[in-house]
Amino acid sequence: MQGTIRRCPGANLIQIKAAHSRECNRSGMDIQLDLRDLPPPEPMVRILDALELLQPGQGLEAMTPYRPLPLLPMLEKLGYAWQLEDTASGHARLLIRHRDDDRAPR
């Protein structure tokens, strides 16, 4: 399944979508990934690919079909801080920032 990448008008936001359609918002995250319809390990692969686009001061929000537990120690080794939340729909929401970012999850 191919995703789409688009810049949101009037916002410093890049949205990368797999299947679900969401409008751009200004949630404070600069890259949004909606990976809920992808089978493992595709969400983890796409998150790691998107991190290559992440600039200092930017954040990444990924919606995944499950808690991506194997990814978390990899993020720490790569110098990222993360926050993982379960959603009411049974999916997971992962927030990622560079560890030295003032807005990084603690």
Overall average pLDDT of the 60-89 stretch: 96
Q: Is 103 inside a domain boundary?
A: no
Q: Tally Cβ neighbours within 10 Å of residue 68.
A: 21
Would the pTM count as exceeding 0.75?
Answer: no
Q: Is 106 inside a domain boundary?
A: no
Nearest-5° angle of CA 54, CA 56, CA 57? Answer: 100
- The model's pLDDT over 9-39, given as tens digits with 9 standing for 90+, comes to 444 445 554 433 343 434 445 899 999 999 9
Strands 92-98 and 59-64: antiparallel
What is the tally of structural domains in the chain? 1
Structural domain of 77: 4-98
- Can you give the CATH number for the domain in which 33 is found? 3.30.110.40
